[in-house]
Amino acid sequence: MELESLITILGSGGIVTDPSLNSAYTVDWTRRYSGNTPAVLLPKTTEQVSQVVKWCYKNSVALVPQGGNTGMVGGATPVNGELVLSLKRMTDIEEVDDATGQIVTQAGTTLGDVQQAASRHGWKYPVDLSARDSASIGGTIATNAGGSQVLRYGNTREQILGLEAVSGTGDVIGDLRGLSKDNTGYHLPGLLCGSEGTLAVVTKARLRLVKPPKEELSILLGFRSLIEALSIVEEIRKSLEDVQACEVFFQNGLDLVCEKFEIAPPWNAHLGAYLLVDIGGQIGLEERISNSPLSAFLNTSNFVAYGSDNLSRKKLWQYRDLHTEAISAAGVPHKLDVSLPHGKLNEFCNDVQEIINTIDNETQLFLFGHAGDGNIHVNVLGPSPEDLEIDTAVLKYVASLGGSISAEHGIGRAKAHHLNLNRTTQEIDIFREIKAAFDPAGILNPGTIFPQ
């Protein structure tokens, strides 16, 4: 490939061609997907992104947009030798607007840096996930990332007030005016959010900030069974206004986290399920909790631990936050991020092992996730990366229960062949037409969402 024109656009510091240096961009976080690329392109400005995409459009060269490369579905991996367009150098936070509670940033800024910038100005950016220090704002927009606080604040789509992006022809589209009300035709940010780099490259975003809670409290709860835990999730929803997060994990995941990171378990017990609940709001949280119907359970259970300051809350959160890393340290997982109707969550968690066992009874299964959203991360260790038999069986089971085969990670390459489990042929045809309108040459992330 003739790369001289790209060097002219980006400068020699803006392009990496040495394969020994670009491996960080060609293997995904889970190590399940890998590829190769003639070059990693590192623009600094929207204008450079536009010129690069125009060059690719003219020369029919495919490219894969990439942010922090923490995606879970192989959507940022150049598996067919595409160029990698990394937004890593586009990290300017242009404005924190105190008057409106909005932040404007380039898309390569990490989620953690946006959270900190908001916090320095007395605001909070309410999307949070444990890959916060690597995941980029552009990546969280492209995947419509969820995370632990969806229950309270909604997913990424609900935070976007404006986007700037570069379409598959290299045109700059969108706006960053931040109007709360603007019903002029189709909603571009809504469409681009969750499009996984297949419609446009997100270059900047204007995001909504919220006022941070005055007081925060984390509570870890242990249960004999998941059904008992889920009845408390219902009670929490009904009786507490201040819930920010309600996470679930199980004994085998907790044991793995404690073993891998050499930390003590919360209790010397073997329990059926754990909930980690985060509460945040006006001063007086403990009083409000003790006046709620939840207090009867909290006062009688032997398995309740409170974290009220940063250190003790962090200690409780590590049991949940470290699941992804502990599982990846144990092997290359098949990651199936699914959501179920609330009434089906218990059935799914109880039966999924059996479904997997009919195919291979030597796998290891770890479940954890966002109980308040009915979102379970199914992690299977054992099958080879390219073996899709277990993935297919689990995803079919999810669809049969009325669930979603992708709650928050996206379709990527991992689930492209399974999109029809949740979407009709007509819907997929419309999706393809939308893609062709944004990206007529099909150069943006081919193979993601739609199988090649």
Ligand X SMILES: Cc1cc2nc3c(=O)[nH]c(=O)nc-3n(C[C@H](O)[C@H](O)[C@H](O)COP(=O)(O)OP(=O)(O)OC[C@H]3O[C@@H](n4cnc5c(N)ncnc54)[C@H](O)[C@@H]3O)c2cc1C
Q: Which residues are registered as beta bridge partners of 201?
A: 166
Cβ atoms of 393 and 359 within 8 Å: the answer is: yes
The answer to whether residue 107 forms part of the interface with ligand X (CB under 6 A) is yes
If binding is defined by CB under 6 A, does position 322 make contact with ligand X? no
The reply on whether position 29 binds ligand X by CB under 6 A is yes
Contact positions with ligand X (CB under 6 A) in 180-239: 196-197, 201-202
Give the number of other CB atoms < 10 A from CB of residue 238.
Answer: 10
Does residue 126 contact residue 116 with C-beta atoms inside 8 Å?
Answer: no
* By CB under 6 A, residue 142 contacts ligand X: yes
What amino acid occupies position 32?
R
Per CB under 6 A, contacts with ligand X among 420-439 are none
Segment interacting with ligand X, rule: CB under 6 A, options 127-135, 241-249, 348-356, 357-365 = 127-135
Q: How far is CA 263 from the centre of its chain?
A: 26
Of residues 126 and 228, the one with the C-beta less far from ligand X: 126
Contact track, ligand X, 324-353, x by CB under 6 A? xx----------------------------
Tell me the residue type at 53.
Answer: V
Supply the DSSP symbol for 359: T
In the DSSP assignment, the letter for residue 270 is -
Residue 202 Cβ, how far from ligand X at the closest point, in Å? 4
Q: Can you give the C-alpha Rg of the chain in angstroms?
A: 22
Among 16, 84, 135, 289, binds ligand X (CB under 6 A): 135
Residue 446 interacts with ligand X (CB under 6 A): yes or no: no
Residue number closest to ligand X, CB atom: 139
Q: Is 146 in the site for ligand X (CB under 6 A)?
A: yes
384 C-beta neighbours (distance < 10 Å), count:
8
Per rule CB under 6 A, is residue 105 in the interface with ligand X?
no
Binding of residue 140 to ligand X (CB under 6 A):
yes
129 binds ligand X (CB under 6 A): yes
Q: Is 65 in contact with 76 (CB distance < 8 Å)?
A: yes
- Distance, in Å, from the CA atom of 254 to the CA atom of 270, rounded to the nearest integer, reads 10
> What residue spans of 88-172 are helical by DSSP H?
111-120, 137-142, 150-153
What is the binding site for ligand X (CB under 6 A)?
29, 64-72, 75-76, 87, 107, 129-131, 135-136, 138-140, 142-143, 145-147, 196-197, 201-202, 324-325, 408-409, 412, 445, 448
